[in-house]
Structure 1
Amino acid sequence: MPISRRDIMRALPVLGAAGALVPGIFEAQAQDLWRVASAAPPTGILREHHERIALQIGAASQGGIQSAFQYVSSEQEALQQITRGRLQGGVISMIALGAIVPEAGVLLTPFLFESEAEAEWVIRNRLADKLRPLLEAKGLALIGFAAGGWINVATRTAVKSPADVRGRKIRASPAPASQFFWSTLGANPVQLPIGELFSALEQGLVEGADLPFTFYVASPAAVSTPHYTLTRHGYNFSGVIVNLGAWNKLPAARKAAILAGLPTLETLNREFDQSETALAEKFRGTGGSIHALSQEERQGWIGAIAARQQAFVGGLGAPSAAFFEVVQSGRRDFAATRS
């Protein structure tokens, strides 16, 4: 016998009562779907981390959110979609965040941090609380950080000193810090989006670039520029951000659960280090060269940049210069904890 519309209407109060008596009976239907974006390459530790973060948001949400990873090739596009609420979150690099919050771009200043431990401490204890209101003003909530490894120099031929790149055409990223780095060293920086880099390297239009190792070895750059020099001039990390409106709709307990459930920057950094060790062995086995620098050699790179670092930051504007001083103060406080 077919069920009539009247039968369905009569049953609704009973079903509603059952849902109230048995928590979660309609939970799947009540869950919000959050799509969390990233431009991480299809394979490698970066993609693994970003997918884990995306799924963990839902897993830690006490049943309120179903989350899914979504690949978006352009971080700028992902950022726009998150701001508009078409995507709910993302793992976005400081390069992209710096385009809307210049203070974030300061964190890419060459030789800003000396070690991972220093960077982790300063980010956690000094920078997080400074970045949150800046991003909230753009409609974004900062809920965590993700590791990206150190930025180093990839070139066609071996490079050990700044003199080795002088006069060469080198790809600079859209970040002002990258352009500052190469021009200060006397190179001829050519600004290119990442999508145009590999063909430019292959065709010899540029002779090198500065890239994080895990991204570099998974890309065609490792073939056309087989020399990788460990300058460690940029600490590369990302913010885990979500649409502010979506975040503010969550109950306080659910927010706290998500924040507690996300992997820490320290954990992700350790996993990055382990991954890079294995990748380095494989890279050398296929003919690639990794050039470590002595303390004296690395000091030559630092010295070439240090004298102009303050002027570069000052050129970004007073708020950025003040943010730079927060970093420097944090570095001094970190050093005090180790003395």
Structure 2
Amino acid sequence: MILGNIKAFAAVGAGLLMGIAAIGPAHAQEAWKLGTLMQPPALGATLDDEFAASVSKASAGKLAVERQFVGNEQEMVSQVVRGRLQMGATSAFGAGVAVPDATVVSMPYVWSSDAERRFVTDRFAMPVMKKLFAEKGLELLAIHEAGYNGVFCKMDCSNPASLKGAKARVSPAAASKMFWQSMGANGVQLPISELWPGLEQNLVVAADLPFPFYATTPGAQSAPYFVVTQHLHHPWLYFVNKAAWDKLDAATRDAIAKNLPDSNTVRDRWFAEERGKITDFVSKSGKVYNISDAQRAEWQKLVTPNLPGLIGSLGPGAQELFRAIQTGKEEFKKTKG
């Protein structure tokens, strides 16, 4: 009798274990990390957190995505390519270590207006960029906002002539090198994490970043002269390691893609934040030069003659992307007309 009960309990226990084993994988939640250099209180960190939350929610419990700070954009992108991080968020310049042809969207003075940029990016650039990312083992999910670069310095540099011979921080992107060479500056290549001590130690006296990011960094104190040149734009790119993405079932991938934050809403929030930060910065004795169109043309005329050569030096993917942008710009003119 006792032996029979033991066998019965053993059978029940085995059944329970088999049931738990069967249920476990179906309800297992995979932890994903979203690598980014954004940190609170920057709006970019908030937007990254919202993006991560949207992916988690749309996955219906399959994924739990969290932002992870990585101070070097190029290193972060490399980690996503290798699968050490599942997701990344960065500028086209940051992504350039893996997808150099994508930097075409951030070429100096490639856009005539913000409305043109939004129209062309979403309808014409995005499909080509998705293909370029896929070729490098990445799935591009969205193109959001990181603002337009302005130039900031330790001295008044509202006139581009003041930068001739000055030591300026250059990012690894070819477009950044071309811009500062066009200014006649002495470029010093530094990752973003080394820019702040570089300014303090006078290794460099000038650099360029979007204002909302700049305003949250030590550069706002050590280099408090900001010129609203808007010479190049930074799309904020969200991407996934393609192997990790392809492991998700089709329904989950589709749900994530359909439930991402709206690009234009994010863009509007970014620029509203920028206007507020500029007002606050000026109220605290920061120097912001909102240059006129005529003044901006003085900067532009130094750069645009070098643009065709830079485009021509890039690969066939860059040529394809540039053609798509030009086609989109023509279509935009028709819609405006």
2:118 to 117, 120, 130: 120
Distance 1:150 1:108 in 2: 9
Q: What is the CA-CA distance between 1:135 and the residue it aligns to?
A: 1.2
Alignment of 1:326-337 (within 5 A): 326-337=324-335
The 8 Å contact of residues 91 and 146 in structure 1, kept in 2 or not, is answered as no
Alignment of 1:81-92 (within 5 A): 81-92=79-90
Q: 3-state SS of the aligned residue for 1:326?
A: helix
1:201 to 199, 202, 213: 199
Letter in 1 for 2:109: F
Name stretches of at least 5 consecutive residues in structure 1 with no aligned partner: 20-25
1:75 aligns with 2:99: no
Match of 1:106 in 2: 104
Distance 1:337 1:101 in 2: 31
Deviations for 1:198-225, whole angstroms, at most 9, x for unmatched residues?
1221122221101111111111111111
Alignment of 1:290-301 (within 5 A): 290-301=288-299
Distance 1:254 1:173 in 2: 36
Match of 1:316 in 2: 314
Distance 1:39 1:69 in 2: 10
1:245 to 238, 243, 246: 243
Are the structure 2 counterparts of residues 60 and 300 from structure 1 closer, same or farther at C-alpha, using a change threshold of 3 Å? same
Distance 1:320 1:14 in 2: 53
Are the structure 2 counterparts of residues 163 and 243 from structure 1 closer, same or farther at C-alpha, using a change threshold of 3 Å? same
User: What is the percent sequence identity of the aligned residues?
Assistant: 33
Letter in 2 for 1:149: G
1:183 aligns with 2:181: yes
Q: 3-state SS of the aligned residue for 1:304?
A: helix
Are the structure 2 counterparts of residues 28 and 208 from structure 1 closer, same or farther at C-alpha, using a change threshold of 3 Å? farther
1:144 to 142, 145, 154: 142
Letter in 1 for 2:16: A
Are the structure 2 counterparts of residues 28 and 251 from structure 1 closer, same or farther at C-alpha, using a change threshold of 3 Å? closer
The 8 Å contact of residues 99 and 105 in structure 1, kept in 2 or not, is answered as no
Q: What is the CA-CA distance between 1:167 and the residue it aligns to?
A: 1.9
Task: State the Cα RMSD in Å.
Answer: 2.2
Q: What is the CA-CA distance between 1:317 and the residue it aligns to?
A: 3.7
Match of 1:23 in 2: none
Q: What is the CA-CA distance between 1:84 and the residue it aligns to?
A: 2.4
Distance 2:11 2:76 in 1: 47
Match of 2:223 in 1: 225
How many pairs does the alignment contain? Answer: 331
2:213 to 212, 215, 220: 215
Match of 2:91 in 1: 93
1:274 aligns with 2:279: no
Q: 3-state SS of the aligned residue for 2:46?
A: helix
Q: 3-state SS of the aligned residue for 1:41?
A: coil
1:259 aligns with 2:264: no
The alignment's TM-score, normalised by the length of structure 1, stands at 0.91
Letter in 2 for 1:9: A
Match of 2:16 in 1: 11
Q: What is the CA-CA distance between 1:29 and the residue it aligns to?
A: 3.5
Q: What is the CA-CA distance between 1:249 and the residue it aligns to?
A: 2.2
Alignment of 1:31-50 (within 5 A): 31-50=29-48
Distance 2:19 2:314 in 1: 63
The 8 Å contact of residues 153 and 229 in structure 1, kept in 2 or not, is answered as yes
Distance 1:297 1:31 in 2: 54
Deviations for 1:131-168, whole angstroms, at most 9, x for unmatched residues?
11221121111111221011010012222332121221
Distance 2:333 2:10 in 1: 72
Q: 3-state SS of the aligned residue for 2:188?
A: strand
Distance 1:14 1:329 in 2: 58
Name stretches of at least 5 consecutive residues in structure 2 with no aligned partner: 1-5
